[in-house]
Amino acid sequence: MVTACSACAWLWTGGCRQSDGRRVTHFEPSSDGRVSVSRYPRACSFEDGSSPWSPFVEHCADHGNETVSWYENGHVNSAEWRSAGGLRPPKRVDVLETPPPTDLALRRAAQGVGMLWRADFPDARRLLSSMSKRLDRTRAEPARDSAARFYQYRQGRRNRARVLGMLLVELGAGPAVDLPRAPDVRAACGEVYGDTVGPRVVSLRELLGVLSAHRWRRNGIAVPALGARIHPHYGVFPPTRNEYVDLVAAAEVAAVRTAFDIGTGTGVLAAVLARRGIPRVVATDIAPQAVACARDNVRRLGMGDRVIVAQADLFPPGRADLIVCNPPWLTASPSSPLDAAVFDRGGRMLSGFVRGVADHLTVRGEAWLVLSDIAELLDLRTRAQLLGEFDSAGLSVLGRLDVRPRHPRARSARGPLAFARAAEQVSLWRLGAKR
């Protein structure tokens, strides 16, 4: 007896054993003598009496081929799993034709069961929102020390993303969501997931993020220091906090022929430097989506003759009179590709920049490092360690400009990290090579 998995073409040979070794007691072969997978869930039962279809679905997910399968209308269906945010596909998927109570949905999600929505789209949004509010109400007691509180917060965010990511929708050709009162997702999903050939399953929460990122990309964010709008792409750090951009716009600049902007993101700081009259700016980013976004913004701003954007790990070849860098401010492992603009694994970008910058400066060149002290307030780094890194890299501090954040979260007393946000200061460190 041979069984082929319709999702991943895995062949089950040997007749009566499932991949986990349990014996199947009954087969119902189809007319060609094979057990078709679509009939397998109804046809077989295991010796221990359990339902065989969930192990089957798990087997498909275990193959790591980013496929999800579910049982619906008497068939096992499957679709490609897509997550731009790096979510893993659920091992088991149930179909939801009516909204379940919030507690039940949360319980299933916490068990790792994906719920494929087949009802009214706005009801799915409502369920997601009530799951989210319920999770907010069940916070653990905050840890006592700051660093532990930060890691606890990160763990909580990861769990939250995993659980809320279990509410799923299918993307059909278009890409389109074929559900009553579903929004038009074509442009937004086309930008992030590319053309849809076969059916795909995505998390509803991610889809809503993709839709709002599309609105940002279309409308842009006003950047007063630039006197223009910047259009962030999905997954690229948006310049919603103006204070750090204002620092780069205000710092005194000597005669500069070439500037580098390391980790350019949307290209906002490169654009500010070009707006300040620097004739040549080379901007780099390690993330391809950031490179595409920065190029898009440079083109929109008509700065293509002054700003070059390249994909690179830190520095482009050559030297510059001014090198600007706004690295991720927190040392932590990113849990998704989107996190990588905010969390710096092991402080790799910050130390790489500090250690390498002197070799890329011209003789009287200056480096501007934009950094918040939030990592110090959370006990993830000390000021002495930062100054020690500057010193061992042969850099001296030429000056520093400080500013207090103005974004609403800095004034909010809510959340486990509010104590650090309330005291946070953002600085532009002016660094030069020791002579």
The nearest distance, CB 238 to ligand SAM, in angstroms, is: 7
According to the binding rule CB under 6 A, does residue 265 interact with ligand SAM?
yes
Q: Is the CB of 174 or the CB of 356 nearer to ligand SAM?
A: 356
354 near ligand SAM, rule: CB under 6 A: no
Q: Alpha-carbon torsion 145, 150, 152, 153, what sign?
A: positive
Question: 177 or 287, CB closer to ligand SAM?
Answer: 287
Per rule CB under 6 A, is residue 368 in the interface with ligand SAM?
no
Which residue among 192, 208, 210, 340 contacts ligand SAM (CB under 6 A)? 340
Residue closer to ligand SAM (CB basis): 209 or 327: 327
Which residue from 210, 341, 380, 431 is in contact with ligand SAM, where contact means CB under 6 A? 341
β-strand pairing of 343-344 with 330-331 = parallel
Which x/- pattern over 233-252 shows residues binding ligand SAM (rule: CB under 6 A)?
----x-x-------------
- Selected from 285, 339, 366, 373, the binder of ligand SAM by CB under 6 A is 285
Query: Does 347 contact ligand SAM by CB under 6 A?
Result: no
Instruction: Tell me which residues in 123-152 interact with ligand SAM (CB under 6 A).
Output: none
Beta carbon nearer to ligand SAM, 80 or 296: 296
Distance between CA 279 and CA 160 in Å, rounded? 46
Instruction: Compute the distance between CA of residue 38 and CA of residue 72 in angstroms, rounded to an integer.
Output: 10
| 405 near ligand SAM (CB under 6 A) | no
Q: Are 40 and 56 in contact (CB under 8 A)?
A: yes
C-alpha span between 190 and 176 (Å, rounded) = 10
Question: Does 332 participate in binding ligand SAM (rule CB under 6 A)?
Answer: no
CA 214/CA 239 separation, integer angstroms:
15
The minimum distance between CB 341 and ligand SAM, in angstroms, equals: 4
Of residues 196 and 326, the one with the C-beta less far from ligand SAM:
326
Buried b (16+ CB within 10 A) or exposed e, 192-209: bbeebeeebbbbbbbbbb
Nearest approach, Cβ of residue 357 and ligand SAM (Å): 12
Q: Does 288 bind ligand SAM (CB under 6 A)?
A: no
- When asked if residue 290 is in the footprint of ligand SAM (CB under 6 A), the reply is yes
Contact call for residue 117 and ligand SAM (CB under 6 A)? no
Q: Which is nearer to ligand SAM, 151 or 343 (CB)?
A: 343
| Under rule CB under 6 A, residue 85 binds ligand SAM | no
Q: Is residue 264 part of the contact set for ligand SAM (CB under 6 A)?
A: yes
Q: Which of residues 106 and 248 has its CB atom nearest to ligand SAM in the complex? A: 248
The answer to the question of residue 402 lying near ligand SAM (CB under 6 A) is no
Q: Which residues pair with 282 in a beta bridge?
A: 260, 308
Phi, psi for residue 208 in degrees, rounded to 5: -65, -35
Residue placing its CB nearer to ligand SAM in the complex, 18 or 242: 242
Options 287, 291, 307, 350; binder of ligand SAM; rule CB under 6 A: 287
Piece of the chain touching ligand SAM by CB under 6 A; list 67-75, 111-119, 280-288, 388-396: 280-288
The nearer residue to ligand SAM, 76 or 256, going by C-beta atoms, is: 256
Candidates 179, 286, 292, 422; binder of ligand SAM (CB under 6 A) is 286
Q: Does 330 bind ligand SAM (CB under 6 A)?
A: no
Q: Does 349 bind ligand SAM (CB under 6 A)?
A: yes
**Residues of this chain that bind ligand SAM (CB under 6 A):** 237, 239, 262-266, 268-269, 284-287, 290, 313-314, 326-328, 340-341, 349
